Every structure is written in C-alpha cells, then in structure tokens.
C-alpha cells in the first residue's frame, strides 16, 4: 500500500511540471506556393490539432505516440505526412481539386489503410470503406474486410459474434476511443449499439496488443473512433431503408463553442418491426428490433492540457421466435429489453524535457447495462455495472528510448438471475504495467512490456508481451509478436443467447438449466482463461509505376493454457461449460492479402485465409477426451472486393464477393440425427452504386445478391417445446437477398 501511495504522489508531481513544449511547426501552401489559411492540421487518432493562420503557418504540440500528420482544406485533396523528426519545420503543399459544377476531381485514397508506421500489425477501415456496403452499425462494417468475420450466433435473438484468428469475439478486446468497452452482457449485442454513420474509423490489430490496454487481448484488438467535433461536418444526415421495411436515421452536429471548447451531438433511430418467415418454419427469420441511441461528446484544449468527455444512452427492444399471430398453439417467443448508459473522460497533459515528448494522462469510463430477457417461459435478467480507470505516464528519453508506465482499475458487478435463481458476481482487478520501446532509426523497433494484476476472483497474475518490427527497406516490413492474455468468464452473461434451445445447461458437473439446483454464484464460477499467442507478419509496399501494390502474409498461433470449454458435442441435448483441465486447445490462422489500384479511381483487394481451430471435448460415453475442430467455424474464407469511382467523382460502383468454406457441425444424435455432420461452402455477393453530388449522395444496393440462405437454421422448429428444439445451429445467412437505398447529406465545417 505504501509503494502504491508513493507511486501516485510521484505520478501527480509530473502533472505540474512545466517544461517548454516541443512543438511541430510548418506552413501549408497551395500548388502556386500561396499560403492556405484555415487548413486543418492534426495528429491521426488524436484530439491534438490546430488550424493555419493567414500566412499558412501552424504550430502543433508533438505527441510521442503519433507520427501521422493529417492536413486538409476544403477544395483541396487531404494529405497524410509521416513525421520522422518534429524539430524540422515542414512545408506542405496541398493539391487543388478541379471543380466542375458540383463535381470534384481528386485522386482516390484507399478505403482500408495499412498502418505502415505502426509497431503492431494493424489496419484502419476509413469511413470511405464503411460507405461501400449497407453498413448501419459496427457489426455490418466488416463486410469488405478479410480478417474479421461477423455472423449471427443464433436464429432467434439476432445476437452477433465476430471471429478473429479462428477465435470468437470474446477473445478480441473491444475498445471505443481507446478504452475497453462491451464486456459481459453487452458482448453479444454490443456491435449493434454503434451506428456506422457515427464512425470516423475502425482500427484492427491482430495478436496480443500493448500491455497498456490491459491483459485481455488474446486474438487481437478492435478500436472504434467516433467523429471528432474539431474536424467533423457542421451537420450530417444519413437515411437508410430496405425492402424488408427496415428504416434507420442518423444525424450528427458539431460546433465550436470557442477556441478551446467544442462539442458534438449524435442521434440514431432504427426500426425493423415487420414479420419475415421465408422458409415457412413458423419462426421469424430474424428478430424485430427498435433502437434509440444518443451520444454527446465534448473536447477541451488549453495549451498543454487536452480533455474529452462523453455521455451515451441506448434503448433497444428486440423480439424473436414465433409470430404470435401465426402460431397455432402457445407461441415460442423471445423478448429482450435493454437500457444502457455510458460515460467516459480522457485527461492529458503534454510537456517536454530536453525537447523530448513527455505526457501524463487519465482515462475513466463507466457503464450500466440493464437487460430484461425472456426465452419462452424462462426469464433471464441482468444488471451489469462497469468502472474503468487508468493512469498513464509516457516519456521519450531520446529518439531511441521510450518508457510507458501506469496503473489501472477495472470493476465489473453483475446482478443476474435465471429462472428463480440468482447468480450475482463481482470482480475488481487492480494492476500496473511497465513498457519499454527501443527504436533504431525506425528500422528496428523492439517493445517489451509486462503487467501485474490482482483479481478479487482469481488472485495475482502476470502478463508479459513482446513486439518486434524490422524495416530492412522502406517498402518492406516484418512484424512479430508473442505474449500472454487472460480473460474472466461471465458464462451466463456472454452466452445467454444459448437459452434459445431446449438443451440442458451444465456448469462443470452441475445442472444449471432447466430447474438446476445450485448454491449461488460460487457454483457457476470457472477458472480464468489463459492463453499464449504468437504471430509473424510480412508486408510489402511495392511501387509499380505511380501506384503501389500492397501484399501481406501472416501466421498466428494461439495456445490455451486454461480455457472454459463450450461443449455442444458430448450431448446433442445439452451444453456443457467446464475447465479445459490439461486438455489441448489451439488455433492456427494463416492469411495472404493483396491490394492494387489497377487504374485511377479503381481499388481491388484479394485475400485468402485458412483456419484450423481445435479443442478437446469430453466424451460422456467413455469418459475420454476427443480432439475436434470447433463447430460452426469455416475452414477457409476468400474475399474479392472491387470498387470504381469515375474520374469526376459522379458515380461509384462497389462489388464484394465472400467465398466461405465449409465446416463441422456439432455432433448429432447417433440414433436420431436431425442435422448433417458438416455444412457446405457458400458464396455471398454484395453490390452497391452511389451517385455523388456537391454535399450529398444517394446510394442503392443488394445484400446477399445470390439469395443464399441456410435452409433450416432452427432444429425441430415445428416442436419448439420439445427436447430437440435448437435455434443456435447457425453457420450461414439467415436472410436472403435484400435491396436497400439510402441518402447522405452534410454541411462541411469550411
């Protein structure tokens, strides 16, 4: 305790140090070398930005963690500059767009950007890439991405699950604005709570991440960045509708209160309340939903001090199962009523010693998530509270040496009940980390970090991680990583959608559902999960003429030392959750990807991924373990995306082809098999056409153009109260072809 007190006192003293700021200075011109006034200059993924004065001059505080400087001005093509040395004054020339009536001519930037300067293997999905598909929320933002798969977890609730490196989304750390979010009960539905129209970009990194973000990232990390009030449009509007009568409306507005204070308001409403049952099994193909979502964020900049504040509220009602108007007997119905509130604040003070970047920061966030659910006659209610606080200190001792350290606290409190039993659970994790980075002229970067945490549930544990990046040439980079990750296991909260079946649920050897008798939360507690992840990636940026071919190859291996196994194989009428207990569980993922713009205005990406993910499951018949591929997981995925934008930016045409491999189904009943042992490969095509105007655009497209659907995603749908009913056997699309239209309109800031 004394050591922590001394650390906090020393940490606080850093905040009040006042060294001369190390600032980046420069000028922005047009092609005639005339100064550009009012150009927007800011660090990528940062609130730290400014505008040029009447002479085109800007002065911007440097940030050790940011190297990409973005410069933009209305009427000019934006530019991104990789800054190697902040002591040198920059001279930046923006190319003027040639405007003809309401059409702008500019060179098209890629929608997905490989983060060349990043130590970790990471990609940025820009808003331009998101607009290429019928993206209405985060879960629909990955249709053109080869690394992340998103699919329905069941055919009744609409819960979605992402998969990365052959592992489910629970092993991917979800961040919003660089703080952890969507844990526990919000994991199955959290991606529906982030409207695509609110996004500025999505950052995807694979493998273990930096220890400063915590101990949870095992397969990777996805960070969502919302639009910033300093750079967003004054007002923007996005409307969407499809032929299934789904409608959505999004609006956001930003304003500068003064030269130090700015704010932004986001609004979202969506409604999908029509009944659809194309396969005539008596169940809705997907649930009826209605959602209202509002967020307000503020930014404050005062010299070396930068702060953000945000509040958000989500209300959603969804219902699935049989339609009460068409069911002959008592209908099998599912309802989920959700209210979620969030807050966050980020405080940073940037100062320098000996002209080297140095900063302290605090990030705090919290959420209250209340869900009232009913699966037929079974109620499941939960109220989850989360509080997260981290204190960070970072200093560059020289151009070669960087040190980052900090303290963190994370608290999760779950009040949950299933049927008449309560399973309240609380966990508080406190810890700290130290991370050191060595940078040899941006040719070789080594970063090693270790964090130590103490959990009120699982006691003390240590997380080491190491990352290496080697740039033998400007056009070639090799990245490697190895590290451990841990994860707590709120079983009911993360998997409550599995209640959409008649399967019994066992926790260990105890019957939980239906009508299980357990002695409180201790009876459903299983071990903390622990895994080792290692991987290597090679990326080539090969200049061909005035264009660039980007090619990458990667391999990642994840080995679980401890795991909570989700077993749907040992018994076709039960689901078992139990500790791995020395058994094998691993995942291999290999991927190659190539992107090349064959001609101006055209982008093309091809990718192929092969996955091998296996776990040992219990065999209840003989008591022995059996090593099987994880069920409902595609063996491979191939992706082809093509996009063409006409020279005058009047039109844009997009096509995405997903070739999904087959996979293993859960083991069926040997005496009465109701499903096949494997599912077959399938293809999904999406297309879209966009017409651009000066400050608005209209678009129309097809989802699932080939109209491929899993014929019977619900097992024994005609007898939902029988022992064979199961709505969780989903491996493919549950809805067919959809036609959609939409409109985007904005008032730019300048």
pLDDT tens by residue, 141-171:
888 889 999 888 888 888 888 899 999 889 9
Instruction: Provide the pLDDT confidence category of residue 27 given band limits of 50, 70 and 90.
Output: confident
Indicate if 269 and 223 belong to the same structural domain: yes
The pLDDT assigned to 110 comes to: 66
Indicate if 568 and 613 belong to the same structural domain: yes
Between the two ends of the chain, the Cα-to-Cα distance in Å is 53
Domain count, the chain: 2
In a domain, 358, yes or no: yes
Q: How many CA atoms lie within 13 A of 415 on its CB side?
A: 7
Taking the C-alpha atoms of residue 726 and residue 156, their distance in angstroms, rounded to an integer, is: 10
The pLDDT assigned to 13 comes to: 41
Indicate if 273 and 406 belong to the same structural domain: yes
In a domain, 8, yes or no: yes
Please, is 448 exposed, middle or buried when counting C-beta atoms within 10 Å of its C-beta (0-12, 13-18, 19+)?
Answer: middle
Specify the DSSP class assigned to residue 4: H
Indicate if 359 and 494 belong to the same structural domain: yes
Region 633-660 average pLDDT: 95
Indicate if 22 and 118 belong to the same structural domain: no
User: Which residues, listed in sequence order, are joined to residue 176 by a DSSP beta bridge?
Assistant: 179, 224
pLDDT tens by residue, 286-330:
999 999 999 999 999 888 899 999 999 999 999 999 976 665 678
User: Other C-beta atoms within 10 Å of 42: how many?
Assistant: 22
Region 115-140 average pLDDT: 83
Chain mean pLDDT for the chain: 88
In a domain, 45, yes or no: yes
pTM metric for this prediction: 0.85
In a domain, 534, yes or no: yes
User: Other C-beta atoms within 10 Å of 699: how many?
Assistant: 21
Assign residue 92 the CATH number of its domain.
2.60.40.1120
CA–chain centroid gap for 82, Å, is: 25
Picking from 81, 89, 29, 17, the residue whose alpha carbon sits closest to that of residue 59 is 89
Indicate if 257 and 193 belong to the same structural domain: yes
Q: Which domain holds residue 47?
A: 2-96
In a domain, 105, yes or no: no
What lies within 8 Å, CB to CB, of 241 at 6+ separation is: 247, 248, 740, 741, 742
User: Other C-beta atoms within 10 Å of 150: how many?
Assistant: 17
Beta strands in 488-584 (DSSP E): 504-507, 510-513, 529-544, 547-562, 564-567, 574-579
Q: Which of 70, 96, 122 is the last residue of a domain?
A: 96
Taking the C-alpha atoms of residue 483 and residue 420, their distance in angstroms, rounded to an integer, is: 42
In the predicted structure, residue 259 carries a pLDDT above the cut 60? yes
Indicate if 417 and 494 belong to the same structural domain: yes
Indicate if 92 and 174 belong to the same structural domain: no
pLDDT tens by residue, 472-511:
998 999 999 999 999 998 888 999 999 999 999 998 888 8
Indicate if 453 and 342 belong to the same structural domain: yes
Q: Which of 96, 130, 154 is the last residue of a domain?
A: 96
Q: Which of 67, 96, 125 is the last residue of a domain?
A: 96
Indicate if 354 and 233 belong to the same structural domain: yes
Assign residue 609 the CATH number of its domain.
2.40.170.20
Indicate if 92 and 127 belong to the same structural domain: no
Indicate if 87 and 227 belong to the same structural domain: no
Residue length of the chain: 750
**DSSP string spanning 368-430?**
EEEEEEEETTEEEEEEEEEEEEEEEEEEESSSSEEEEEEEEEEEEEEEEEETTEE--EEEEEE
In a domain, 108, yes or no: no
93: which 2 tokens? Answer: 């020339």
In the predicted structure, residue 81 carries a pLDDT above the cut 90? no
Torsion angle, alpha carbons of 629, 633, 639, 643, to 10: -160
In a domain, 616, yes or no: yes
């Amino acid at each position: 305790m004394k050591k922590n007190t001394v650390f906090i006192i020393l940490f606080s003293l850093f905040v009040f140090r006042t060294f001369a700021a190390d600032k980046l200075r420069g000028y922005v011109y047009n092609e005639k070398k005339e100064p550009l006034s009012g150009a927007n200059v800011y660090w990528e993924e940062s609130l730290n930005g400014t505008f040029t004065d009447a002479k085109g001059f800007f002065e911007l505080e440097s940030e050790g963690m940011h190297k990409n400087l973005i410069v933009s001005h209305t009427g000019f093509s934006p530019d991104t500059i990789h800054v190697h040395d902040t002591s040198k004054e920059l001279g930046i020339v923006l190319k003027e767009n040639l405007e003809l009536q309401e059409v702008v001519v500019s060179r098209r930037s890629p929608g997905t950007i490989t983060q060349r300067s990043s130590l970790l293997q990471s990609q940025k999905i820009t808003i331009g890439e998101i607009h290429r598909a019928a993206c209405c929320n985060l879960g629909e933002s990955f249709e053109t991405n080869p690394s992340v798969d998103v699919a329905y977890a069941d055919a009744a609730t609409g819960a979605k699950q992402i998969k990365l490196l052959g592992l489910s989304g629970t092993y991917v750390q979800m961040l919003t604005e660089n703080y952890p979010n969507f844990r526990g009960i919000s994991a199955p539905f959290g991606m529906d709570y982030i409207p695509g129209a609110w996004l500025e970009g999505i950052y995807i990194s694979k493998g273990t991440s930096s220890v400063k973000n915590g101990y949870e990232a095992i397969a990777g990390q996805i960070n969502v960045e919302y639009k910033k009030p300093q750079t967003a449009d004054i007002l923007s509007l996005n409307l969407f509708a499809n032929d299934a009568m789904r409608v959505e409306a999004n609006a956001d507005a930003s304003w500068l209160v003064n030269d130090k204070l700015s704010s932004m308001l986001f609004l979202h409403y969506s409604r999908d309340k029509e009944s659809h049952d194309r396969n005539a099994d008596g169940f809705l193909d997907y649930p009826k939903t209605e959602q209202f979502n509002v967020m307000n964020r503020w930014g404050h900049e005062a010299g070396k001090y930068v702060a953000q504040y945000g509040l958000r509220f989500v209300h959603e009602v969804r219902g699935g199962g049989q339609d009460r108007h068409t069911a002959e007997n008592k209908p099998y119905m599912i309802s989920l009523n959700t209210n979620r509130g969030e807050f966050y604040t980020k405080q940073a003070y940037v100062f320098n010693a000996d002209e080297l970047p140095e900063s302290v920061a605090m990030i705090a966030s919290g959420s209250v998530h209340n869900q009232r659910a009913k699966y037929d006659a079974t109620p499941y209610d939960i109220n989850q509270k989360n509080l997260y606080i981290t204190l960070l200190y970072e200093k560059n001792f020289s151009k070669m040496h960087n040190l980052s350290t900090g303290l963190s606290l994370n608290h999760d409190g779950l009040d949950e009940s299933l049927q008449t039993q309560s399973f309240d659970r609380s966990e508080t994790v406190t810890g700290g980390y130290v991370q050191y980075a060595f940078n040899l002229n941006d040719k070789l970067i080594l970063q090693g970090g270790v964090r130590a945490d103490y959990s009120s549930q699982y006691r003390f544990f240590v997380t080491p991680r190491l990352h290496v990046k080697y740039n033998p040439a400007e056009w070639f980079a090799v990245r490697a990583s190895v590290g451990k990750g841990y994860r707590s296991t709120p079983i009911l909260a993360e998997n409550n959608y599995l209640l959409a079946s008649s399967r019994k649920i066992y926790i260990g050897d105890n019957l939980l559902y239906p009508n299980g008798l357990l002695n409180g939360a201790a009876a459903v507690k299983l071990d903390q999960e622990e895994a080792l992840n290692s991987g290597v990636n090679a990326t080539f940026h090969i200049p061909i003429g005035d264009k660039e071919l980007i090619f990458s190859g990667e391999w990642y291996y994840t080995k679980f030392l401890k795991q909570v196994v989700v077993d749907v194989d040992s018994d076709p009428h039960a689901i078992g959750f139990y500790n791995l207990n020395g058994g094998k569980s691993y995942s291999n993922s290999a991927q190659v990807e190539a992107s090349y713009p064959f001609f101006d205005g055209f982008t093309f990406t091809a990718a192929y991924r092969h996955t091998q993910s296996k776990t040992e499951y219990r065999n209840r018949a003989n008591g022995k373990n059996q090593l099987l591929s994880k069920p409902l997981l595609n063996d491979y995925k191939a992706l082809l995306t093509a996009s063409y934008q006409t020279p005058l930016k009047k039109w844009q045409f997009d096509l995405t082809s997903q070739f999904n491999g087959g996979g293993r189904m859960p083991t069926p009943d040997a005496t009465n098999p109701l499903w096949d042992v494997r599912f077959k490969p399938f293809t999904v095509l999406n297309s879209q056409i966009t017409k651009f105007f000066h400050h608005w655009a209209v678009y129309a497209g097809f989802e699932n153009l080939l109209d491929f659907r899993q014929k019977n995603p619900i097992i024994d749908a005609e007898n939902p109260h029988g022992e064979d009913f199961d709505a969780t056997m989903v491996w493919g699309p549950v809805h067919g072809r959809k036609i959609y239209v939409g409109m985007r309109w904005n008032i730019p800031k300048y």
